[in-house]
Amino acid sequence: EVQLVESGGGLVQPGGSLRLSCVASGFTFNDHYIDWVRQAPGKGLEWVGRSRNKANTYSTDYAASVKGRFTISRDDSEKSLYLQMNSLTTEDSAVYYCARGYCDKSGYVGLDSWGQGTLVTVSS
């Protein structure tokens, strides 16, 4: 069974940093993309960033709103993806989901499995 479990959320002051983790199980981790998507309370989904698979040299992309502040890294040996968040503002308060970007022989298919999310609250 495919599972993604996020952790690391919590309360942080504006300007602070936080590192989120996403641990995967039930699939070959380096064959697929992993995205971070966030959702502020009562709001819609906002894409944060992506780590592609080994076949795509683990390249990353970020939303403009987080570029230069957030960094995605992955440890295939631990089947884990990390989101390092720096210079946090109140606008970054949200539930952060990691989601698998399933890839088959023809390439990227879609975000087919999502974790339960971890809540980040940026407040003084």
Window contacting other proteins (CB under 8 A); options: 21-29, 59-67, 70-78, 81-89: 59-67
C-alpha–C-alpha distance, residues 34 and 25, integer Å: 13
C-alpha–C-alpha distance, residues 105 and 52, integer Å: 15
In angstroms, give the least distance from the CB of 93 to other proteins: 18
In angstroms, give the least distance from the CB of 113 to other proteins: 8
Q: Tokens 């698979």 map to which residue?
A: 53
30 secondary structure, DSSP code: G
Q: Which residues bind other proteins (CB under 8 A)?
A: 35, 37, 44-47, 50, 61-64, 97, 99, 109-112, 114-117
